[in-house]
Structure 1
Amino acid sequence: MADIGTFALVIALLTSVYALAAYIIGLQKNEEPLLASAKGGVFATAIFTTIASISLIYLLMTGDFSIQYVASYTSSDLPPFYKLSAFWAGNNGSLLLWAWILTILAAIVTVGRRDEDLKPYVGAVMMLISAFFLFLIINTSNPFVKLPKPLLEGNGLNPMLQNPGMVIHPVTTYLGYVGFTVPFAYAIAALFTRQADDRWIKVTRKWTIMSWLFLSMGNLFGAQWAYVELGWGGYWAWDPVENASLIPWLMSTAFLHSVMVQERKNMLKIWNMLLIIFTFALTLFGTFLVRSGVVASVHAFGNSTLGLYFIVFTTVVTMGSLYLVLDRIGLLKQGNEFESLISKESSFLLNNLLFVASAFSILWGTIFPIVSEGFTGRKITVGAPFFNAINAPIGLAFVLLMGICPLIAWRKASIKGIVRNFRVPLVVLGLTGLTLIVVGIRKPYAVIAFSICAFVIVSTLQDIVKGIRVRHKMTGEGWLISSYRLLTKNRRRYGGYVIHLGVVMMIIGIAGSNIYNQEFTKTLKAGEQVRVDNYLVTYEGLQQKPKGENMVISADLNISKSDSLKFKLSPEKVFYPTTEQPSTEPAVKSTWKEDFYVTLVGWEDEAVTIKVNINPLIKWLWTGGYVLILGTLFALWPGKGSAVGAKYLGRS
């Protein structure tokens, strides 16, 4: 199977190069048969990459330890679920997964007869990128390399990766990364064909939203994995690889908002081109960070020879794309101008600027150690205080804009309309702030964050209720029918509102857990009690028990709270036969108010040492993330405009 996999990769590289050349020559000479042949080359590339991927899955599942990659990431006792996840556990397999997803997407894009004038250019761009990845896999990262002598047993999977979250997180992240190739390819196609309208945006809208959704899921699942697996009590450490997936998410979020202005008002054409180009370039940058070895990260694959390849390719693609934008600048400048600073268009642009500012501040903080080492010879790291100090106010600003935007009209907002629409949300904002201060929440960031969240919730619900009321009045439908038809026939808009409400819930969780989190380290003997904030912790004893091939050491704890809440927790250390370092498995009791999070630090004689983190409002963060996912799926579901017309849909 290894020989079949290697052969399939070589053929896939050859067919991708052929398809690229056939597209270029076919476009230059306007030869339809050659363009049709190029499309066949795209399908062949997808087929042979699929054969290679299935070959690797077979080798992993059967435990063929004559293959270096299989021996490095699996063992005989590894459950099949994690044998499958070993596909993307290492550098070589993850690159193959990337290429597999990319070639499948390229084949899907070439199906059908719509947009035939753009598809040859789109196919050429995607085959260029596919050829690059296949070349890397074959020459530097071949997962089918054989060992000189087969091993009797493999090294097994890193214990930290033996978690359901790490099975889902990489796949969703890659689907997000690779998915942005499609809108990028269409943008380049629009530039090549000198089409400055919004057709390429409409064609790729669902591709863009799906890619954004998968990248959102990747970040969410990665944060959850860090929270329940690493045992440090947090979920986001501003790790370079974490940042590498957040930066394109911020840029793509700006793009999703900005294209609405181009579709509606024929504006921001240059800006949108730049946003999608940089979004794609930043997905390549994220891949570079994980595989270059230039930054230390618990998420990285370690040192490899791929860094230079990625830097050169990313630079060439970005510079070539920017040259096309510059060459077509005259076409892209055509369109409408802003009529007023106080308008929905202006709020969208300001929103975009905040997203981009946040993205580039994180990018600078992430690459600063590399830059400092290049200039001074010393690697100066940038920690969480830097990222928090810059991004906390930026984050609150664009959350505030989420509440402002629905209340402002397109083109030019009137004073009367502003007063009418802002009256209730502003009153709620003020009352929320006063109430928080009265109940004892005095920290400025907490008061500001929670007050802004209340403002956004009220402004969003106010706009939804307004739409329902207007539809009810115009159609005579019942309230429930009006609500159902308004929401289901305007999925894109109201799905966006659900996403905004999910983001607000996440901000509540982020603000609470960062501003009011507490950490305690306690040493206890069996039967001893200790008070941790409002909790009384009783240590019952240490347990040792086998779990499959592993050995688990757990501390049994009884916890009670002043409000009669009682529960048991057993934080663990898990020892694996394939590694000397045990993994830490925290135990968590989660409520809407706070998480009681405890890890087993160590033990000696009859005493154990535990670390307790009290993290307020964490459940709001996870729930908000799933609300965001549901809102995105709702917006993607097929649905057309309301039968009563756009002006009756509650537009402010």
Structure 2
Amino acid sequence: MYFSDLGTIALILAAGFALYTIVASVFGATRDKPLLVVSALRSTLVVTGFLLLAAAALIVSFLTHDFGVSYVAQHSSSTMPWYFITAAFYGGQEGSLLYWALMLSIFSAVFVFTSRRAPAALVPYVLATLMGIELFFLVMLTSLSNPFVRLPHPPANGVGLNPLLMDPGMLIHPPVQLLGYMSFSMPFAFAVAAMITGKLNSDWLRSLRRWSLAAWTFQTMGLLLGGWWAYHVLGWGGYWGWDPVENAALLPWLTSTAFLHSTMVQERRGMLKVWNLFLVIASFALSIFGTFLVRSGIINSVHSFAYSSIGPFYLAFLIVVIAFSTALFIFRLPRLQAEQEFDSVVSREGVFLLNNLLLLGITFAVLWGTLFPVISQAIRNQTMTVGAPFYNQVVGPLFAILIVAMGIGPLLAWRRTSSAALWRNVCVPVVMAALCAVILPLVGVTNVAANIGFSACAFTAGAILYELWRGVRVRHNHGEAYPVALYMLFNRYRQRYGGYLVHLGLVLLAAGIIGSHFFQIQKDAVLKDGQEISINGYRIVYRGNIDMHQPGSEVVIAQVQVWRDGQLLTYTYPGRTFYRNFDNQPASQISILTYGLNDLYVLLDNWDGPSQATLRVFVNPLMPLLWYGGVLMLLGGVICWWPVKKRASVAVARSAATAKATEQLAIAGTGDGGDK
């Protein structure tokens, strides 16, 4: 018996127990049989156990080079390092489906162990929904996309992993991105359970808050790692090309971001209930849509798999999800009436609604641009593509307004804000934006669009830093040292100040995008040994090529010196790697050097013998800010959903005056003393 046979048996048994969980959960809830619900909870853990067994069987098949398994033969070879062999687990369609199913089962198991925190009436239907999604993937894995299918005549060696995936980024980007997609299943399951039971008060929102924050954090990490992978591997000097699969990953991030903001309005004012249900459903539907795009073959992308037979089944599943959710949504609309009305547009809830409209506007623009080639082909029988200029012209202005709204929101009170309070709170950010708008042209930044973008970033950064300073100052005035005061703010109001950190990270990321987009410099040159090119104060001196043969690959490396102000800064070695079985698809080894806030990006584009090469060089201003901002966003997201320890009253005793002053500051300055 092969390990692959064990994996197939485990998948079949997991599908059987997933089906049992659905039936037991629904019957236990509708017939008031608690023991059936308990049985369903335990059955969910059994599903997790069998999927762990299936995943282990596939990993062992890879590590033992069992090329009798078709999936192993297609995505690995005996010359691959063990870490890339491990990455091959999710490097193809079958493995990525198994990974999705495995992680969903693990999340479901976590829910089982924490189910006592959720409303009891929702638990059976959350389980049934999760296992319904799980069952779809298990049916695909046991029929159309089985990773354990064996070949009648095993090859002596495998084909190997796609060269574009032979990169350290592949070890983490795909699993994190798939984890982000999968994570939206949890909020969706809670939404379905709330609609089925009719329990649509704020309890279901509080139950899924941490799940939603975790899903948003994973999706954010997946997007950042995807941009980092594209920047380091694809060799075009950029990190985001508005590729359809990139767009598909962005869509659920946009709607989930809108959801996280509007939930605060429902919990605080009992408003935007329709928005919240719609955004949860949309986020999950868009995550399924993204995986459909990757596997359907209807688009061309460096990220997508070739056409496969499961594309239509994914589309059918997406249609079922949308139809089922929409029917429940319409059925429960009478119970989704707002408990209060908007008192004023100039209020925190007004800005949150504006944020939602802007995020949905960006979502629609990106979705339309992504699907336009398919729509044009269907209507005119002619494929018309939408390029980066469309997205830049449409999304750019909306994003700039969103950045400004993001800075205004925390400065406004709930219900309404007086003109005096509004000016008192925005004067510092306005001054910072004005200074930015005046100083930038004086130092040579004359691009109007870039200046507007930088000024918007300065406004929001000023608003966030001003809020942080006010909170720290109040606590310091009541006896806490500045570092302690800052720590206590984040520790006591994690969601609020974690949100500020996310916003500040997004501002830095936006500044990095503006700098690298508007001010990138590129120069190509054919050089012989000893020749050089100059770009933005750097001298790039070419010193010949090195041709190296390694097991399973050949590497061509250009030797390059980098000089500035008459000093040799470093040697760098851009190159190309040719893998056996992929001779026509070399992988680039790009040299990226960071000096201050600029990236020097050197690519070996072509070569002729040992002493001639074509180099492509970019200078990307402010690129490090993009990655720093991304890390700050992730840190803020983790702070928001990190569990708060329950402490005894004695342990948390502190100055009553400090607590009262902090709350009064929040009420007077922003109109909200609660978490964000």
After TM superposition, the score normalised by the length of structure 2 is: 0.94
User: Which residue of 2 is the match for residue 197 of structure 1?
Assistant: 201
Q: 1:571/1:305 Cα in 2 relative to 1: closer, same or farther (>3 Å)?
A: same
What does 1:74-153 correspond to in 2, within 5 Å? 74-111=76-113, 112-114=115-117, 115-153=119-157
User: Which residue of 2 is the match for residue 522 of structure 1?
Assistant: 525
SS at match of 2:77: coil
User: Which residue of 2 is the match for residue 369 of structure 1?
Assistant: 373
Q: What is the CA–CA distance in structure 2 between the aligned matches of 1:304 and 1:137, rounded to whole Å? A: 13
The CA deviation at 1:469 is 2.4
Task: Letter of the 2:430 partner, please give it.
Answer: L
Q: What is the CA–CA distance in structure 2 between the aligned matches of 1:130 and 1:195, rounded to whole Å? A: 24
Does 2:627 correspond to 1:627?
A: no
Task: Name structure 1 gaps, 5 residues minimum.
Answer: none
User: Which residue of 1 is the match for residue 673 of structure 2?
Assistant: none
SS at match of 1:596: strand
The CA deviation at 1:82 is 0.8
Q: What is the CA–CA distance in structure 1 between the aligned matches of 2:566 and 2:258, rounded to whole Å? A: 45
User: Which residue of 2 is the match for residue 513 of structure 1?
Assistant: 516
Q: Pick one of 39, 42, 49 that aligns with 2:41.
A: 39
What does 1:179-190 correspond to in 2, within 5 Å? 179-190=183-194
Asked if the contact 1:490–1:639 (Cα under 8 Å) also holds between the matched residues in 2, the reply is: no
Asked if the contact 1:466–1:650 (Cα under 8 Å) also holds between the matched residues in 2, the reply is: no
SS at match of 2:39: helix
Larger deviation: 478-487 or 25-34? 478-487
The CA deviation at 1:350 is 0.3
The CA deviation at 1:23 is 1.7
Does 2:79 correspond to 1:63?
A: no
Q: Pick one of 466, 489, 496 that aligns with 2:499.
A: 496
User: Which residue of 1 is the match for residue 54 of structure 2?
Assistant: 52
The CA deviation at 1:590 is 1.3
Q: Pick one of 416, 425, 428 that aligns with 2:429.
A: 425
User: Which residue of 1 is the match for residue 175 of structure 2?
Assistant: 171
Q: Pick one of 608, 616, 619 that aligns with 2:613.
A: 608
SS at match of 2:198: coil
User: Which residue of 1 is the match for residue 354 of structure 2?
Assistant: 350
Does 2:553 correspond to 1:550?
A: yes
User: Which residue of 2 is the match for residue 2 of structure 1?
Assistant: 4
Q: Pick one of 161, 164, 168 that aligns with 1:157.
A: 161
Identity fraction in percent: 41
What does 1:371-410 correspond to in 2, within 5 Å? 371-410=375-414
Task: Letter of the 1:102 partner, please give it.
Answer: L
Q: What is the CA–CA distance in structure 1 between the aligned matches of 2:532 and 2:19, rounded to whole Å? A: 69
SS at match of 1:296: coil
The CA deviation at 1:565 is 6.8
Q: What is the CA–CA distance in structure 1 between the aligned matches of 2:39 and 2:587, rounded to whole Å? A: 53
SS at match of 1:78: coil
Q: What is the CA–CA distance in structure 2 between the aligned matches of 1:481 and 1:522, rounded to whole Å? A: 55
Asked if the contact 1:467–1:648 (Cα under 8 Å) also holds between the matched residues in 2, the reply is: no
Q: Pick one of 571, 589, 600 that aligns with 1:568.
A: 571
The CA deviation at 1:548 is 4.6
The CA deviation at 1:25 is 2.2
Asked if the contact 2:561–2:568 (Cα under 8 Å) also holds between the matched residues in 1, the reply is: no
Does 2:22 correspond to 1:20?
A: yes
Q: Pick one of 297, 304, 308 that aligns with 1:300.
A: 304
Q: Pick one of 271, 279, 283 that aligns with 1:279.
A: 283
Q: 1:478/1:446 Cα in 2 relative to 1: closer, same or farther (>3 Å)?
A: same
Task: Letter of the 2:261 partner, please give it.
Answer: H
* 1:7-55 CA distance string (max 9 Å, x none): 1111111111111122222222222222222223222211111111111
Asked if the contact 1:470–1:650 (Cα under 8 Å) also holds between the matched residues in 2, the reply is: no
Asked if the contact 1:486–1:649 (Cα under 8 Å) also holds between the matched residues in 2, the reply is: no
SS at match of 1:335: coil
Q: What is the CA–CA distance in structure 2 between the aligned matches of 1:562 and 1:353, rounded to whole Å? A: 50
Q: 1:342/1:564 Cα in 2 relative to 1: closer, same or farther (>3 Å)?
A: farther
Q: 1:480/1:70 Cα in 2 relative to 1: closer, same or farther (>3 Å)?
A: closer
The CA deviation at 1:306 is 1.4
User: Which residue of 2 is the match for residue 647 of structure 1?
Assistant: 663
Larger deviation: 493-502 or 464-473? 464-473
SS at match of 1:524: strand
Q: What is the CA–CA distance in structure 2 between the aligned matches of 1:26 and 1:604, rounded to whole Å? A: 72
Q: 1:27/1:487 Cα in 2 relative to 1: closer, same or farther (>3 Å)?
A: closer
SS at match of 1:602: strand
Asked if the contact 1:12–1:134 (Cα under 8 Å) also holds between the matched residues in 2, the reply is: yes
Q: Pick one of 201, 205, 218 that aligns with 2:222.
A: 218
* 1:435-467 CA distance string (max 9 Å, x none): 001111010111111111111111111111112
User: Which residue of 1 is the match for residue 674 of structure 2?
Assistant: none
What does 1:465-476 correspond to in 2, within 5 Å? 465-473=469-477, 475-476=478-479
Task: Name structure 2 gaps, 5 residues minimum.
Answer: 646-651, 671-676
Q: What is the CA–CA distance in structure 2 between the aligned matches of 1:632 and 1:231, rounded to whole Å? A: 30
Q: What is the CA–CA distance in structure 1 between the aligned matches of 2:130 and 2:101, rounded to whole Å? A: 11
The CA deviation at 1:564 is 4.9
Does 2:278 correspond to 1:256?
A: no
What does 1:473-492 correspond to in 2, within 5 Å? 473=477, 475-492=478-495
User: Which residue of 2 is the match for residue 618 of structure 1?
Assistant: 623
SS at match of 2:554: strand
Q: What is the CA–CA distance in structure 2 between the aligned matches of 1:457 and 1:639, rounded to whole Å? A: 27
The CA deviation at 1:529 is 2.2
User: Which residue of 2 is the match for residue 585 of structure 1?
Assistant: 589
Q: What is the CA–CA distance in structure 1 between the aligned matches of 2:613 and 2:62, rounded to whole Å? A: 39
Residues paired across the two proteins, number = 651
Asked if the contact 2:406–2:503 (Cα under 8 Å) also holds between the matched residues in 1, the reply is: yes
Task: Letter of the 1:622 partner, please give it.
Answer: W
Does 2:552 correspond to 1:536?
A: no
The CA deviation at 1:650 is 3.0
